[in-house]
Chains A and B, each alone.
Chain A
């Protein structure tokens, strides 16, 4: 039973970058390290226009499937895998992370943006992975969560609204 009422969210606004950026923020694994993949895509709004001021975070298991318990994301040492990273979208709405492919079906993704009142949670599923939740979705819904394998990693676009709208999550 809940004894404390939640603090409401508010938009991250347009001017978050200097508040939340840090060195190598999107490099959970250094690019070029053995096993490092690039996870990337484009964030679009309901008109199909790229969103140039979104903030994305990923949080994931490591290459052996373990949940990282190591701190150090803000001062990455090049070898410790913390499992967490963040980045902003470019003027073209693009995001990219460098990470290790988790031995798990999905990577957790949190989306923030100017104009977006509260966090949106979603999942980036690895191609070929499945679970009961993914099975419960329609094929069109599933498409919005399953990444495409590319030459250097994985690609998944995020659509905030409209055609191809990403499936967002509300946790029980």
Chain B
């Protein structure tokens, strides 16, 4: 069996991106979402729908979001460095930003959840077999509720890059998983935040599943020196926009049976 190399994966990514740019050049709208059907990420092959989703007007329950509040989340849950008796290893940082809807309105008093690997690139999850050390002082999960301006804020450490088995020598860029609720359930979003300038970006089939460069860039936090705290932590800013927009290309109106 031939080994699946990074060169093969990178060629596949380049081909899909070239196809996308050609379609855009021919008049197709730009996409703000990942391709669901993206073979370079091998686990997607049998897990993407093959039919167009059905366009539907959201109704009743779909137009609202579940309610979360301080009954659900304690303030301390936003500090991932304070969940154990000692300080975790790694680069301490603040990650903050605003959650907005597509009209630019703040998503107020809503839940933000995150989870991540530790500074060595190891997840607490029992099935993570990466032989990097666990950190007894870091679990890597946190929650907060946005304030009246839609602002969330976490204190954590910078996660390490993480090896996975998609192909030989596959490494995920450092990332933090985020889960968000908007002003309607249609805006539900799970995504990943990345760090500026990561050399693994071009190699990663998950990040590159988003064919549009500008859309990919929107997953990268900005280093913000004004958020850095002297003698304590670095700071990153990342705003999140929840629109619930369609996640795939549709064939032009009228072409469907």
Contacts and interface: CB of A to CB of B under 8 A. Distances in A.
Nearest to B109: A71
Contacts of A11: 41, 190, 192, 206
B46 A116 contact: no
Contacts of B104: 3-4
Given A8-B215, A133-B56, A167-B54, A82 B34 contact: no
Given A8-B191, A112-B190, A172 B242 contact: no
Interface in B160-207: 175, 177, 179, 185-186, 188-192, 206-207
Interface residues of B, number: 83
DSSP class of A's interface residues: helix, strand, loop or mixed? loop
A2 interface: yes
User: Which of A118, A137, A172 gathers the greatest number of chain B CB atoms within 10 Å?
Assistant: A118
A108 B72 contact: no
Contacts of A73: 66, 68, 72
Contacts of A167: 51, 53-54
A161 interface: yes
Chain B interface SS verdict (over half): loop
A121 B73 CA distance: 26
B240 interface: yes
B38 to A, nearest CB: 6
Contacts of A17: 125
A82 B72 CA distance: 11
A163 to B, nearest CB: 10
B72 A72 contact: yes
A171 B246 contact: yes
B125 A169 contact: no
A95 interface: no
A51 B43 CA distance: 11
Contact of A104 (B35, B60, B71, B175): B60
A22 B128 CA distance: 20
A20 B115 contact: yes
A9 B116 CA distance: 16
B233 interface: no
A84 interface: yes
B68 to A, nearest CB: 5
A7 B240 contact: yes
Nearest to A13: B177
Interface string B43-56: 11111111111111
Contacts of A2: 102-103, 243
B52 to A, nearest CB: 8
Contacts of B246: 170-171
Given A19-B114, A169-B56, A46 B46 contact: yes
Given A75-B72, A170-B247, 20 more contacts: A5-B215, A7-B218, A8-B218, A10-B209, A13-B192, A16-B177, A18-B140, A46-B45, A59-B65, A71-B70, A74-B71, A82-B66, A82-B67, A104-B60, A108-B61, A116-B44, A117-B41, A118-B34, A120-B49, A170-B53
Nearest first, the 8 closest Cβ-Cβ pairs linking A and B are A19-B115, A115-B43, A84-B66, A15-B125, A71-B69, A74-B72, A170-B53, A115-B47
Interface of A: 1-20, 45-47, 49, 51, 57, 59-61, 67-75, 82-84, 104, 106-108, 110, 112-121, 131, 133, 137, 141, 160-162, 165-172
29 contacts: A2-B103, A4-B101, A4-B243, A5-B215, A6-B32, A6-B242, A6-B243, A8-B32, A9-B33, A9-B190, A10-B210, A11-B206, A19-B115, A46-B46, A59-B61, A59-B62, A59-B65, A59-B66, A67-B60, A67-B61, A70-B67, A117-B44, A118-B34, A120-B53, A131-B59, A162-B50, A169-B53, A169-B54, A169-B56
